[in-house]
Amino acid sequence: LAPERGAERRDTAPSGVSRFCPPRKSCHDWIGPPDKYSNLRPVHFYIPENESPLEQKLRKLRQETQEWNQQFWANQNLTFSKEKEEFIHSRLKTKGLGLRTESGGYDG
């Protein structure tokens, strides 16, 4: 949301995780923009003043699950990208080609 609507826009954290932050007076869970590495949308969970112990347990379990998913998919996507690059390089090398240069020729 735009700043005039009450949401504070913050830039990406050094780790690549969004620092999206809902307005302080919000009474709902907020879903932020997709993370750069995991492609998952972070959820900022609303904590009601009169949260019961069972509600708190559920919220904490949801937060732990979200954090695990974030880490898993960030690692999974990073590994996939790296192995994809290695595969492309190996296939080009097998064919006696290199990567294309800016002029459209091959490095090989």
What are the pLDDT digits (tens) for 48-107? 999 999 999 999 999 999 999 999 999 999 999 999 999 999 998 888 887 666 666 655
- How many CB atoms within 10 Å of residue 105? 9
Is residue 14 predicted with pLDDT exceeding 50? Answer: no
CA dist 36 and 99 (Å) reads 26
Rounded Cα gap, residues 33 and 80, in angstroms: 22
Tell me what pLDDT residue 23 has.
Answer: 72
**Which residues, listed in sequence order, are joined to residue 31 by a DSSP beta bridge?**
43
The pLDDT confidence band at residue 25, using thresholds 50, 70 and 90, is confident
Provide the sign of the torsion angle of the four alpha carbons 74, 77, 79, 85, taken in this order: negative
Residue located via tokens 């990073």: 78
Sort residue 58 into left (φ over 0), alpha (ψ -120 to 50) or beta. Answer: alpha
> Tell me, what's the pLDDT at 74?
97
